[in-house]
């Protein structure tokens, strides 16, 4: 991923009036984050009109307003250029970035000066911009400061009646808080960092309607909030250091509880908002709605994977020391299948993705590589599974996606692990298939290209069929392809460090290194 580069101290001037309003309209019409309703269109446009008219009493030097309008210029400019086939990814970023740098130049004044509602809005939109594929991964500090300012202003608490807020202002205040909540919880989830928000200290209600004139999509936003609240549980109850102190019985109960919540959320998505595996199933959905809905589905499947990862990864499940417990081994098998099924669904969604300058990095990079890694591990553990050949094809699809990303970004974003790992898996599966030395039983078939929702149900009393015995690390090493192995030390953990949340210490570290060396 790109690294943050120092920007020039001098600011570029505002665009002319016509260009400025073209950027603003493009933001409200095409930017995916407009569905969160961070900005109220009529109010923002009226204030921008005043900026150009220079009406009496207008605060020209207000740093928060300067940052806000410039980040909107950047987002709108990027949307316009991303839709132009004659403009390359690199050119689109180059033209939009100066406005973002304008906004960043006011960062210290926003944080250390007089900060109000506008400052929080500016930081939130700067976070959305920084999540773009072509940007350095600076969304965490931007979002963290937005959280701190929001909590300092009491946005996490229900407003007092004595404030006499209008309904529109009250709705805008509440929705802005929940936008910040969703942003922060997902950034914490994806990066493995602890959340800055204490869920037990929130009293702001989730509204049921949008302010008049807002661009917000209440249905989509509400579903995303529900997912964010579940992902917060995944982070605290599954991925935290404390979670590793649970007994095997407790961790299974925790997994079942969170799993059940995710299933209910997935089933509650209305038919018109569901994203199937057929490309034609969402052709009528606008691009502005498509990205949030792809995010919702990816986030839910990502939460399924994270929920079961504590038992799926052998170097973690070994911590519980229950190799002789049949029920625990059955849960490991069930969790492995759930992780693999969720990974397949994410990779299948890549066929619907149009990768351009406006696409967020979590959609084009994080979720695809997260799914690919899990399918990679599953294939190495169960190389004789009926779905192994199909999974190789899915890994090739994912490798092709990253090849496309490298092509459109002019090799600025080049990540070859999917291609190399897919080739390694193919060699392992072929080697196992051609030898009589390994004699493994089979597991039930799971959905791949059929487009069905993964079977995420827990095993019944009779179990899920006979379990495949996973290959030991030494067996994986013996079947690994000869040549240059993937160097885990070169993996950019700052850009994607989900595994940093997993505490791997003491005598389990050698086991992890054994597996890494086998790859």
- Six token digits for residue 289: 């709605």
**pLDDT tens digits for 40-84?**
999 999 999 988 887 555 555 789 999 999 999 999 999 999 999
- Six token digits for residue 162: 């004595």
Q: If pLDDT is split at 50, 70 and 90, which confidence band does 241 have?
A: confident
The fraction of the chain above a pLDDT of 70, given in percent, is: 78
pLDDT value of position 109: 93
* 3-class SS of residue 208: coil
List, in sequence order, the alpha helices (H) in 449-507.
Answer: 473-479
Checking if the pLDDT of 233 tops 50, the result is yes
Per the model's pLDDT, the better-predicted residue between 101 and 410 turns out to be 101
Say how far apart CA 193 and CA 131 lie, in whole Å: 16
At which residue do the structure tokens 């979002």 appear? 143
Residue 128 burial (C-beta neighbours within 10 Å; 0-12, 13-18, 19+): buried
Residue of 445, 403, 405, 449 whose CA lies nearest to 422: 403
List, in sequence order, the alpha helices (H) in 83-138.
Answer: 89-105, 107-112, 117-130
pLDDT value of position 352: 87
Say how far apart CA 421 and CA 418 lie, in whole Å: 5
Phi, psi dihedrals of residue 458, rounded to the nearest 5°: -75, 160
Say how far apart CA 300 and CA 212 lie, in whole Å: 30
Say how far apart CA 506 and CA 321 lie, in whole Å: 14
- Six token digits for residue 184: 């922060």
Least confident of 4-8, 185-189, 235-239: 4-8
* 3-class SS of residue 477: helix
Q: Tell me the average pLDDT across 84-106.
A: 92
At which residue do the structure tokens 């390994």 appear? 438
Say how far apart CA 278 and CA 350 lie, in whole Å: 11
Per the model's pLDDT, the better-predicted residue between 474 and 172 turns out to be 172
Say how far apart CA 516 and CA 221 lie, in whole Å: 39
278 in Cβ contact with 308 (< 8 Å): no
pLDDT value of position 3: 55
Checking if the pLDDT of 496 tops 50, the result is no
Q: Tell me the average pLDDT across 429-446.
A: 61
224 in Cβ contact with 216 (< 8 Å): no
pTM of the shown model: 0.82
**pLDDT tens digits for 131-182?**
998 777 899 999 999 999 999 999 999 988 888 888 888 999 999 999 999 9
Delimit the domains of the chain by residue range.
17-201, 325-518
- Six token digits for residue 102: 């304008």
- For residue 221, what are the contacts with CB-CB under 8 A and spacing of at least 6? 35, 36, 37, 175, 178, 179, 292
pLDDT value of position 290: 87
pLDDT value of position 474: 45
- Catalogue the E-assigned strands of 308-360: none
Q: If pLDDT is split at 50, 70 and 90, which confidence band does 414 have?
A: confident
Checking if the pLDDT of 449 tops 80, the result is no
Checking if the pLDDT of 108 tops 80, the result is yes
- Six token digits for residue 203: 């009293």
Q: If pLDDT is split at 50, 70 and 90, which confidence band does 486 have?
A: very low
Checking if the pLDDT of 275 tops 80, the result is yes
Say how far apart CA 207 and CA 210 lie, in whole Å: 8
Phi, psi dihedrals of residue 331, rounded to the nearest 5°: -65, -35
DSSP label at residue 84: -
Q: Tell me the average pLDDT across 79-95.
A: 91
**In angstroms, what CA-CA distances link 49 with 45, 58, 493, 497?**
6, 11, 44, 43
At which residue do the structure tokens 């038992």 appear? 311
Mean pLDDT score of the chain: 82
- Six token digits for residue 513: 């290194």
């Amino acid at each position: 991923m790109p690294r943050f580069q120092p920007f020039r101290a001098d600011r570029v001037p505002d665009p002319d009036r016509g260009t400025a309003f073209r950027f603003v309209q493009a933001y409200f019409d095409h930017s995916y984050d407009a569905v969160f309703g961070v900005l109220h269109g009529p109010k923002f446009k009226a204030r921008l009109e005043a900026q150009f008219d220079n009406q009496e009493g207008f605060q020209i030097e207000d740093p928060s307003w300067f940052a806000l309008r410039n980040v909107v210029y950047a987002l709108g400019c990027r949307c316009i250029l991303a839709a132009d086939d004659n403009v390359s990814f690199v050119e689109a970023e180059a033209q939009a970035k100066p406005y973002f740098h304008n906004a960043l130049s006011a960062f210290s004044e926003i944080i250390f000066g007089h900060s109000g509602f506008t400052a929080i809005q500016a930081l939130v939109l700067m976070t959305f911009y920084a999540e773009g594929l072509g940007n350095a991964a600076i969304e965490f500090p931007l979002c963290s400061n937005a959280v701190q300012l929001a909590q300092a202003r009491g946005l996490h608490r229900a407003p007092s009646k004595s404030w006499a807020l209008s309904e529109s202002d009250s709705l805008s205040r509440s929705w802005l808080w929940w936008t910040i909540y969703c942003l922060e919880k997902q950034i914490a989830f994806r990066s493995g960092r602890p959340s800055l928000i204490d869920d037990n200290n929130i009293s702001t209600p989730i509204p049921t309607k949008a302010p008049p004139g807002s661009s917000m999509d209440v249905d989509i936003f509400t579903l995303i909030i529900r997912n964010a609240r579940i992902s917060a549980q995944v982070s605290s109850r599954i991925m935290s250091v404390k979670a590793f102190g649970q007994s095997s019985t407790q961790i299974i109960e925790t997994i079942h509880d969170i799993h059940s919540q995710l299933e209910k959320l997935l089933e509650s998505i209305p038919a018109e908002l569901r994203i199937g595996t057929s490309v034609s199933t969402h052709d009528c959905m606008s691009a502005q709605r498509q990205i949030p809905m792809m995010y919702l589905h990816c986030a839910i499947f990502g939460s399924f994977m994270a929920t079961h990862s504590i038992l799926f990864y052998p170097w973690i499940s070994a911590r519980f020391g229950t190799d002789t417990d049949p029920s625990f081994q059955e849960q490991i098998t069930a969790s492995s299948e759930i992780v693999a099924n969720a990974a397949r669904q994410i990779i299948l969604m890549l066929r619907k993705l149009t990768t351009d300058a406006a696409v967020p990095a979590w959609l084009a990079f994080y979720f695809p590589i997260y799914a690919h890694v899990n399918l990679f591990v599953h294939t190495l553990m169960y190389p004789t599974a009926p779905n192994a050949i199909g999974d190789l094809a899915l890994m090739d699809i994912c490798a092709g996606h990253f090849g496309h990303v490298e092509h459109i970004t002019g090799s600025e974003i080049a990540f070859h692990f999917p291609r190399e790992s897919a080739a390694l898996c193919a060699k392992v599966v072929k080697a196992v298939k051609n030898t009589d030395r390994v004699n493994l039983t089979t597991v039930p078939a799971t959905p791949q290209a059929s487009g069905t929702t993964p079977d995420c149900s827990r095993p019944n009393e009779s179990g899920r069929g006979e379990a495949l015995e996973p290959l030991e690390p030494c067996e994986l090493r013996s079947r690994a392809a000869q040549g240059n192995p993937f160097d885990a030390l070169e993996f950019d953990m700052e850009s994607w460090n989900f595994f940093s949340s997993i505490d791997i210490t003491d005598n389990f570290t050698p086991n992890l290194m054994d597996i890494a060396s086998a790859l």
